[in-house]
Amino acid sequence: MAKNQTNQQRPDRWDALHGTHITGRSYIDGAEALAIEMEKKWGTDRLRLLVSQELREKFDRQRYLFRQAIESGTLETVRREAERMCTALYALDGAAKASGASPIDAEIMEIALASGTVLAIVGEPDDARRAFARADGRRMIVYTLEEVATILSGYPSVNATKQVWPGATVTKVRRHVPDPLDVIAHPTGLDDALDDLWTTEQDA
C-alpha cells in the first residue's frame, strides 16, 4: 500500500504509469543484465576490487545514483543513470584487463550468500586453492561437489522437492533480470497509474 501511495503522490516517478514503468524497466534491465555478465566474467563483487581506489569510488557513487533513480527518480533520471551505469561497468572491465587481472576460472562457480560472503563451488579439493587465490579481499567459502552432496544428503526433504517439481527453487538469490510485466497485476492501458504494483507478490 505504501508503494501505491508513493506513486500517487509522485506522478512524475518513472514507475507511476504502466507505460513509463515498462520503458524504465527496459533501461534498468539492460544495466542489470550487463552487471550479471560482468559477474560471470570477473566473479561476484570482484571487479570493483581489481581497479584503483579512485575508480572504485566513482563506480560506487554511480551505483548509489542508479539505485536512487530506481527508488524515486523520473523516467529521464532512470534512463540517464542506467546508461551511466553501463559506462561505469565497461570502464571497470577495461581497467581490470589493462591491469593484467584475469577473469575467473570457468570451472569455479561463484554466487553471493545473503551475508555477503562469496560461495565458490569447485569440482575437486585441489581446485579450492585456485578459488581462494582469486578471492582478492572478498570473504569467501569454498565447497567441493562432494561436500555439497554430503550436505544435501542431510536434507532429504529439499531433494524430494526438487525431484517432484523439476525446476523448483529454494532460494531467492537473483541471477537473472526479471520480467517488467510481472508487477502489473491488471493490464489495462499504458497511461493508467501503476497502483497495482507488487499486487502479485502480496497475493502470493
Mean pLDDT of 120-146: 83
Q: How confident is the model at residue 110 (pLDDT cuts 50, 70, 90)?
A: confident
Q: What are phi and psi of 153, to 5 degrees?
A: -65, -25
With a cut of 80, say whether residue 161 has pLDDT above it: no
Cell numbers 551505469 correspond to: 85
pLDDT of residue 94: 97
pLDDT of residue 189: 67
CB 194 within 8 A of CB 187: no
State which amino acid sits at residue 32: E
State which amino acid sits at residue 192: D
Q: Which tens digits make up the pLDDT trace of 26-59?
A: 999 999 999 989 988 998 888 999 999 999 999 9
Distance CA 92, CA 70 (A): 22
Mean pLDDT of 119-140: 82
Question: Is the pLDDT higher at 114 or at 161?
Answer: 114
Q: How confident is the model at residue 62 (pLDDT cuts 50, 70, 90)?
A: very high
